[in-house]
């Protein structure tokens, strides 16, 4: 096969008698000869003459059934031939058999020849073969060694057919077996390997008997992958593989899974132990580990805090003294021996083991509250500050001052937090705080003393370190070694070097368990390496193993298409240059880098020197297209990235020449220019002479009068000539009866009495005298004269003295006059309109059809801060707000163009960056021809109005004191809950709570204390029932709780018991920290007791009073007999009241007598 032309030449067998001579098993190409190994023997082929000579004939029984042969010339120049009949050394005139044992593979390594065959792998020492693998006394399951290959690190790869691969180290004799593992992605595809090859990029290629070819890095993956193969299948199989927490102890790795399992991996034995059954009941997911005293570990689980003894493998639940079992999500120790715990839905806890005391930080709208009840990550930095990564922002708590600071994403602040869901926090060895969120990686910028009160600021290094990529979600953070940050993301494992501000993402080809890692699942092992947990297992990060390999591969031209033809798809290998014929309007190229590493993430860029100004980033695309390249010589340069992500220097350099068409040859162009220009010059000279004679002739026929007439007609003015001697006024008016300049007629009117409006006469005469005396060079006046319809019109007259007598007195004045009545009217209207716009309170802007400002009124300046000079000519997008997507403004402008008007509310942005909500009314303004001229927009600032509406809406639906829904909102939500329950066939429970003896506390301690108790009661209720139930305050000391999706009535009673237990702890009501108050609770159920909100409230109220009647601090469920008791008491009370009103009671004395005295 000639790679330059694509032609194939056939060579006949050395002997034509047998089929064995045509079965080629080995080839070796050398400058003077081609060596061909067949079943029949070894042939030598002269490629120039095509002559083929038999060098060695194989006659043994093993040669026919041999799977393959191999030819190799060693460094000493000796040619070796491995066959089923043994190993031969081929000399100039003879072949010497060194061994009669079947040999199928050869490789030279370390100055020695290694032979693979039925006996394994042997090394040639002198003329003797020494066994190398398998070692004496060891058992290996294989039939024969079919292939050998040497990796760049010097180790040998052995095809132990059909028993997989072996990696053999010639220096130490160490052997690593590699087998097919069906459950592990990226493992060996099959154990029956026929062929091995190491390419120029150092990659190991394997050819299997059944599943084709595969490629791998012979050094192994960058990251160790740990997974438990014993995981049983079933609905929780994926959760059992997903690692939620990880930590290290000497010789072991501890793992918590999303399937509530606890595993221990023995690093020395390479085995997993399942310790799930030792977890305290009820079991919960192990979400985090933290060191305890005496080598023990704290475990944050979904059902509370547990202490683990790694040596004894015993576990002890820790009672935090809280109602219920808090679902812990994150954990970290502080320097005082305490623990900070993040929860799911319950804020944060500070636990002091020595005192057994727990402090709770809850979420809420206050400045000292957490931003969100879900705390994903907790960090205590060197200064003692506690950082909380929550579901809605980052919080920094200073225990010494008891102050809380918050950081959230702000649209117009680039240094704000990029996203509000914070999943990871880490302080590196240099004291820098790193934040991982759903929007990427951020570093906290420590403020100086002057900026201590400013908002928390951050920088986002991945914006520059990973250009052209979306920032990955950062789930976990670690450091190894110092200054190198590792992060588990949703796109693989990220490494960031702070010193060089460079980042790299590692993928599946680097040995990762999956591209998805889990939040907070990172731990440091005893040897300093890191462990990251993901959805399919654990990856160990050894900084020494996570090497950078540039692996620069050459870039090659794969195909070239010129115009509609193809050059290179058939037979083209690497042309020296590309020649494009004249007129070729299309050049399509396909390039590729010869890098087949599984971890390669190739990107391309190209540049046509002489045509392109700079490099063009082609991403991952292989195709390059140019159209209409001008004639000339160019150099095409193509580069790809290496395995470290940098641009490789092994680039493709291909000269490209575009032929010039014959008609663009300089001599042809010069001749054509002469032929074309000569007639043009002659014709031009003749035309010029003819025009000169015509102009002279026209001038002699009265050019002056004609031009004047045309000028007057075109300008709409009339010519006047005033004879001062006889008082005659001559006026010349052009008439156009046919409507064109060709039919112009001149009408001269002579009048002795020229009428001027009495109010303007004195002004006209004064101006005339000033001009005749020479005070002003030109007579100019605007005054009124009679019009064609008899009314007065305004004219603007201009003229000068054209004739004087011998003594210099003026005899004639001539000039022009123009009707300016409509102009003055329009000017007056413009002045009125301008004054109206200037006095308007609303902002008014005029803009053109391209939405560029033409003018604005002062109210616009007051509203936006932009002066008219700053906005004129600028796009109206200058005041667009970031609260709306750009598509909102595009749709508004499209609708405005289509409909001619637009009305609605929009957010706009002032010059200082602040934003305001405005009511915008825009409409088109048509010109005199009815065409769209420009647009007018009126803006009204309604920000305060909308804010007031929101406040009124809040006051109408929420209790001001506690922030809970009031009676109106409760009724609405209860109605909706009933509708849902009726549709789903479920139950609703309504708990009616009344505080026992609250009136006595309120009267004794004051209303301020009562209000504080009510607020604390509301908080205690919300914390006790959670966010899934509705808590409302009806008024006074009455509260309600709505419970949806009840399966049975006992669930409502269970919640009532939990509420009574929750109120056993004293309330934290400001300064009143020892107040304990209990509620009485009434329970009513839908549809058991009522089907309307009002009836449910009434029955729950009745049940509550029954609870108070039987002794308070208890609960009762509504029954029908309660209404009868209530009616009986009401009847008795009414009867007694009437008896008192009618004075029907009397006192009767009954003496008691003693009969004994």
Asked if 153 and 179 sit in the same domain, the reply is: yes
Instruction: Categorize the per-residue pLDDT at 772 as very low, low, confident or very high, splitting at 50, 70 and 90.
Output: confident
Asked if 167 and 306 sit in the same domain, the reply is: no
Asked if 383 and 531 sit in the same domain, the reply is: yes
- pLDDT tens for 814-855 read 888 888 888 878 777 777 666 667 767 788 888 888 889 888
Percent of the chain with pLDDT over 90: 37
Instruction: Categorize the per-residue pLDDT at 570 as very low, low, confident or very high, splitting at 50, 70 and 90.
Output: very low
Instruction: Categorize the per-residue pLDDT at 276 as very low, low, confident or very high, splitting at 50, 70 and 90.
Output: very high
CATH number of the domain bearing residue 819: 3.30.450.20
Task: Please check whether residue 1041 lies inside any domain of the structure.
Answer: yes
Per-residue model confidence (pLDDT) at position 571: 42
Of 664, 693, 719, which residue sits at a domain end?
664
Instruction: Please state, in angstroms and rounded to a whole number, the distance separating the CA atoms of residues 398 and 237.
Output: 43
- pLDDT tens for 965-1000 read 988 888 988 999 999 999 988 999 999 999 988 888
Per-residue model confidence (pLDDT) at position 235: 54
Instruction: Categorize the per-residue pLDDT at 7 as very low, low, confident or very high, splitting at 50, 70 and 90.
Output: confident
pLDDT higher than threshold 80 for residue 347: yes
Class of residue 492 by CB neighbours under 10 A (exposed 0-12, middle 13-18, buried 19+)? buried
Task: Please check whether residue 133 lies inside any domain of the structure.
Answer: yes
Asked if 1013 and 874 sit in the same domain, the reply is: no
Q: Are 328 and 305 in contact (CB under 8 A)?
A: yes
Structure tokens at 521: 């699942």
Instruction: Please state, in angstroms and rounded to a whole number, the distance separating the CA atoms of residues 278 and 267.
Output: 21
- pLDDT tens for 871-895 read 898 988 888 888 888 888 888 888 8
Instruction: Please state, in angstroms and rounded to a whole number, the distance separating the CA atoms of residues 865 and 881.
Output: 15
What is the H or E stretch that residue 589 is in? strand 586-593
Strands 262-266 and 271-274, bridge-based pairing? antiparallel
State the Cα angle at 525 between 519 and 530, rounded to 5°: 50
Per-residue model confidence (pLDDT) at position 429: 94
Q: Are 348 and 360 in contact (CB under 8 A)?
A: yes
Asked if 393 and 508 sit in the same domain, the reply is: yes
Q: 53-62, 318-327, 1030-1039: which has the minimum mean pLDDT?
A: 53-62
811 HSE (CA, 13 A, CB side): 7
Instruction: Please state, in angstroms and rounded to a whole number, the distance separating the CA atoms of residues 1011 and 231.
Output: 56
Q: Which of 745, 725, 720 is nearest to 735 (CA)?
A: 745
Q: Are 277 and 303 in contact (CB under 8 A)?
A: no
Asked if 1004 and 970 sit in the same domain, the reply is: yes
pTM summary value: 0.55
What contacts 24+ positions apart, CB below 8 Å, involve 58-61? 58/83, 58/84, 58/85, 59/85, 60/84, 60/85, 60/86
Asked if 86 and 216 sit in the same domain, the reply is: yes
Task: Please check whether residue 770 lies inside any domain of the structure.
Answer: yes
Per-residue model confidence (pLDDT) at position 573: 63
Q: How many CB atoms lie within 10 A of CB 495?
A: 18
Instruction: Tell me, letter by letter, the H, E, C secondary structure of 691-747.
Output: HHHHHHHHHHCCHHHHHHHHHHHHHCCEEEEEECCCCEEEEEEEECCCCCHHHCEEE
Asked if 685 and 778 sit in the same domain, the reply is: no
Task: Please check whether residue 230 lies inside any domain of the structure.
Answer: yes
Of 180, 197, 224, which residue sits at a domain end?
224
- pLDDT tens for 146-167 read 999 999 889 999 999 999 999 9
Strands ordered across the beta sheet of 530-534: 224-226, 537-541, 530-534, 517-524
Find residue 301's DSSP bridge partners.
286, 304
3-class DSSP state for residue 834? Answer: helix
Per-residue model confidence (pLDDT) at position 62: 62
Per-residue model confidence (pLDDT) at position 1123: 74
Q: 253-267, 385-399, 743-757, 839-853: which has the minimum mean pLDDT?
A: 743-757
Instruction: Categorize the per-residue pLDDT at 233 as very low, low, confident or very high, splitting at 50, 70 and 90.
Output: low
Find residue 168's DSSP bridge partners.
156, 175
Q: What is the DSSP letter of 281?
A: S
What is the H or E stretch that residue 118 is in? none
pLDDT higher than threshold 50 for residue 791: yes
Per-residue model confidence (pLDDT) at position 1111: 83
- pLDDT tens for 405-446 read 999 999 989 999 999 999 999 999 999 999 999 999 999 999
Asked if 238 and 157 sit in the same domain, the reply is: no
Average pLDDT over residues 934-942: 87
3-state helix, strand, coil in the chain (%, to 5): 20, 40, 40
Structure tokens at 114: 């290694």
Per-residue model confidence (pLDDT) at position 328: 95
Per-residue model confidence (pLDDT) at position 709: 61
Asked if 208 and 80 sit in the same domain, the reply is: yes
CATH number of the domain bearing residue 596: 2.60.40.10
Per-residue model confidence (pLDDT) at position 219: 85
**C-alpha distances in Å from residue 1118, one per residue of 1027, 1048, 1057:** 26, 15, 16
Residues whose CB falls within 8 Å of the CB of residue 663, separated by 6 or more in sequence, listed in order: 669, 672
CATH number of the domain bearing residue 520: 2.130.10.10
- pLDDT tens for 646-666 read 788 889 999 999 988 877 777
Average pLDDT over residues 452-460: 87
Task: Please check whether residue 546 lies inside any domain of the structure.
Answer: no
Structure tokens at 142: 């294989």
Give the catalytic positions in this structure. 1037
- pLDDT tens for 1044-1096 read 999 888 888 999 999 999 888 888 776 666 788 899 999 999 988 888 999 99
Per-residue model confidence (pLDDT) at position 959: 87
Task: Give the helix ranges, DSSP H, for 1063-1156.
Answer: 1093-1109, 1120-1141
Of 640, 664, 688, which residue sits at a domain end?
664
Per-residue model confidence (pLDDT) at position 452: 63
Per-residue model confidence (pLDDT) at position 436: 97
Q: Which of 1091, 1086, 1116, 1113 is nearest to 1101 (CA)?
A: 1116
Task: Please check whether residue 753 lies inside any domain of the structure.
Answer: yes
Instruction: Please state, in angstroms and rounded to a whole number, the distance separating the CA atoms of residues 1015 and 364.
Output: 13
Per-residue model confidence (pLDDT) at position 565: 54
Task: Please check whether residue 1024 lies inside any domain of the structure.
Answer: yes
Structural domain of residue 691, as residue ranges?
A: 668-701
CA 310 to chain centre: 41
What is the H or E stretch that residue 750 is in? strand 745-751
CATH number of the domain bearing residue 1084: 3.30.70.270
Instruction: Please state, in angstroms and rounded to a whole number, the distance separating the CA atoms of residues 976 and 969.
Output: 11
- pLDDT tens for 1120-1129 read 788 777 677 7
**Per the structure, how many domains does the chain have?**
7
Asked if 240 and 336 sit in the same domain, the reply is: yes
Helices (H) and strands (E) in the chain, counts: 17, 74
Per-residue model confidence (pLDDT) at position 568: 45
- pLDDT tens for 749-764 read 777 777 888 888 888 8
- pLDDT tens for 886-930 read 888 888 888 888 888 898 888 998 988 888 889 889 888 877 667
- pLDDT tens for 277-323 read 999 999 999 999 999 999 999 999 999 999 999 999 999 999 998 88
Instruction: Please state, in angstroms and rounded to a whole number, the distance separating the CA atoms of residues 322 and 67.
Output: 74
Q: How many CB atoms lie within 10 A of CB 423?
A: 24
- pLDDT tens for 1095-1122 read 999 999 999 988 888 888 899 998 878 8
Strands 112-117 and 120-125, bridge-based pairing? antiparallel
Task: Please check whether residue 955 lies inside any domain of the structure.
Answer: no
Instruction: Please state, in angstroms and rounded to a whole number, the distance separating the CA atoms of residues 381 and 484.
Output: 19
Asked if 712 and 674 sit in the same domain, the reply is: no
Per-residue model confidence (pLDDT) at position 430: 93
CA 956 to chain centre: 39
Average pLDDT over residues 663-686: 82
Instruction: Categorize the per-residue pLDDT at 71 as very low, low, confident or very high, splitting at 50, 70 and 90.
Output: very high
Average model confidence (pLDDT) for the chain? 86
């Amino acid at each position: 096969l000639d790679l330059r032309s694509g032609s194939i030449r056939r060579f006949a067998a050395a002997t034509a008698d047998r089929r064995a001579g045509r079965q080629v098993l080995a080839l070796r190409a050398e400058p003077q000869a081609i060596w061909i190994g067949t079943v029949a023997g070894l042939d030598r082929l002269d490629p120039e003459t095509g002559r083929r000579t038999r060098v060695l004939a194989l006659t043994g029984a093993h040669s026919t059934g041999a799977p393959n042969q191999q030819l190799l010339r060693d460094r000493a120049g000796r040619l070796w031939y491995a066959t089923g009949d043994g190993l031969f050394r081929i000399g100039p005139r003879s072949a010497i058999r060194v061994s009669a044992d079947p040999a199928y593979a050869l490789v030279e390594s370390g100055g020695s020849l290694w032979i693979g065959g039925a006996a394994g792998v042997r090394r040639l020492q002198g003329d003797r073969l020494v066994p190398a693998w398998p070692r004496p006394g060891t058992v290996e399951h294989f039939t024969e060694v079919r292939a050998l290959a040497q990796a760049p690190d010097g180790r040998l790869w052995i095809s132990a057919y059909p028993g997989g691969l072996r990696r053999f180290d010639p220096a130490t004799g160490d052997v690593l077996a590699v087998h097919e593992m069906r459950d592990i992605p990226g493992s060996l595809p099959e154990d029956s390997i026929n062929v091995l090859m190491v390419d120029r990029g150092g990659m190991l290629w394997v050819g299997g008997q059944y599943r084709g070819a595969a490629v791998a890095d012979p050094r192994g993956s960058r990251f160790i992958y740990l997974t438990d193969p014993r995981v049983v299948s079933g609905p929780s199989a994926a959760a059992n593989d997903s690692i939620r927490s990880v930590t290290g102890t000497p010789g072991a790795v501890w793992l918590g899974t999303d399937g509530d399992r606890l595993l221990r991996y023995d690093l020395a034995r390479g085995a997993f132990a399942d310790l799930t059954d030792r977890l305290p009941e009820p079991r919960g997911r192990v979400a985090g580990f933290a060191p305890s005293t005496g080598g023990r570990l704290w475990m944050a689980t979904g059902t509370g805090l547990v202490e683990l003894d790694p040596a004894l493998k015993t576990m002890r639940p820790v009672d935090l003294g809280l109602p219920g079992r808090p679902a812990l999500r994150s954990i970290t120790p502080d320097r005082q021996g305490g623990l900070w715990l993040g929860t799911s839905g319950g804020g944060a806890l500070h636990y002091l083991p020595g005192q057994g005391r727990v402090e709770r930080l809850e979420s809420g709208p206050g400045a000292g509250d957490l931003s969100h009840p879900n705390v994903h990550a907790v960090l205590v930095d060197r200064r003692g500050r506690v950082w909380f990564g929550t579901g809605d922002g980052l919080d920094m708590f200073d225990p010494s001052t008891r102050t809380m600071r918050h950081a959230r994403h702000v649209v117009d602040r680039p240094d704000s937090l990029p996203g509000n869901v914070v999943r990871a926090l880490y302080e590196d060895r240099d004291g820098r705080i790193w934040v991982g969120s759903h929007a990427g990686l951020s570093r906290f910028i420590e403020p100086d003393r002057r900026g201590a009160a400013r908002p928390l600021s951050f920088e986002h290094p991945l914006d520059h370190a990973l250009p052209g990529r979306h920032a990955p979600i950062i789930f976990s953070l670690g450091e190894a070694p110092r200054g190198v940050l590792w992060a588990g993301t949703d796109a693989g494992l990220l490494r960031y070097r702070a010193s060089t501000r460079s980042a790299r993402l590692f993928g599946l080809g680097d040995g990762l368990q999956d591209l998805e890692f889990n939040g907070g699942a990172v731990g440091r092992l005893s040897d300093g390496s890191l462990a990251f947990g993901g959805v399919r297992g654990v990856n160990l990060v050894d900084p020494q193993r996570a090497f950078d390999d540039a692996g620069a591969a050459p870039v090659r031209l794969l195909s070239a298409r010129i115009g509609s033809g193809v050059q290179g798809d058939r037979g083209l290998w690497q042309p020296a240059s590309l020649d494009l014929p004249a007129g070729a309007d299309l050049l399509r190229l396909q390039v590729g880098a010869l890098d087949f590493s599984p971890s390669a993430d190739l990107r391309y860029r190209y540049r046509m020197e002489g045509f392109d100004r700079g490099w063009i980033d082609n991403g991952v695309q292989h195709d390059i297209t140019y159209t209409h390249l001008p004639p000339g010589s160019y150099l095409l340069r193509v580069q790809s990235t290496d395995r470290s992500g940098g641009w490789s220097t092994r680039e493709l350099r291909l000269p490209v020449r575009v032929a010039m068409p014959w008609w663009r040859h300089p001599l042809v162009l010069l001749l054509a220019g002469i032929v074309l220009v000569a007639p043009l010059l002659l014709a031009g000279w003749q035309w010029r002479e003819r025009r000169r004679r015509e102009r002279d002739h026209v001038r002699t026929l009265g050019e002056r009068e004609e031009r004047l007439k045309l000028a007057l007609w075109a300008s709409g003015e009339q010519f006047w000539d005033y004879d001062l001697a006889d008082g005659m006024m001559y006026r010349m008016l052009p008439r156009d009866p046919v409507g064109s300049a060709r039919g112009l007629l001149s009408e001269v009117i002579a009048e002795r009495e020229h009428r001027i409006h009495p109010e303007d006469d004195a002004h006209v005469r004064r101006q005339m005298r000033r001009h005749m005396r020479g005070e002003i060079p030109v007579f100019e006046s605007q005054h009124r004269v009679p019009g064609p319809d008899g009314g007065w019109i305004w004219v603007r007259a201009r003229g000068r003295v054209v004739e004087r007598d011998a003594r210099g007195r003026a005899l004639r004045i001539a000039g022009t006059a123009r009707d300016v009545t409509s102009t003055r009217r329009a000017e007056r209207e413009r002045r009125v309109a301008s004054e109206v716009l200037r006095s308007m309170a609303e902002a008014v802007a005029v803009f053109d059809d391209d939405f560029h400002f033409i003018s604005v009124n002062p109210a616009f300046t007051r509203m936006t801060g932009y002066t008219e000079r700053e906005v004129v000519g600028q796009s109206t997008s200058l005041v667009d707000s970031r609260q709306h997507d750009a598509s909102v403004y595009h749709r508004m402008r499209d609708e405005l163009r289509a409909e001619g008007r637009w009305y609605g509310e929009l957010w706009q942005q002032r010059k200082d960056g602040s934003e305001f909500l405005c009511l915008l009314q825009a409409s088109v303004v048509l010109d005199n021809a009815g065409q769209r001229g420009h647009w007018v927009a009126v803006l009204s600032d309604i920000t305060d109005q909308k804010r007031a509406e929101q406040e009124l809406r809040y006051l109408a639906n929420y209790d001001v004191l506690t922030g809970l829904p009031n009676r109106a909102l409760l009724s609405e939500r209860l109605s909706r809950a009933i509708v849902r329950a009726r549709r789903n066939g479920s139950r609703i429970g309504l708990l009616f709570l009344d505080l026992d003896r609250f009136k006595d506390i309120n009267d004794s301690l004051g209303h301020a204390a009562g209000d504080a108790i009510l607020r604390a009661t509301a908080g205690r209720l919300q914390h006790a029932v959670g966010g899934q139930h509705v808590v409302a305050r009806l008024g006074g000391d009455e509260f309600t709780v709505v419970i949806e999706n009840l399966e049975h009535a006992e669930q409502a009673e269970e919640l009532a018991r939990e509420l009574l237990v929750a109120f056993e702890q004293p309330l934290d009501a400001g300064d009143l920290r020892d107040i304990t108050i209990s509620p009485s609770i009434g329970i009513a159920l839908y549809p058991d007791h009522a089907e309307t909100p009002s009836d449910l409230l009434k029955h729950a109220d009745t049940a509550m009073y029954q609870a108070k009647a039987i002794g308070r601090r208890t609960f009762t469920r509504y029954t029908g007999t309660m209404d009868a008791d209530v009616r009986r008491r009401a009847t008795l009370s009414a009867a007694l009241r009437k008896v008192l009103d009618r004075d029907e009671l009397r006192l009767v004395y009954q003496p008691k007598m003693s009969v004994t005295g």
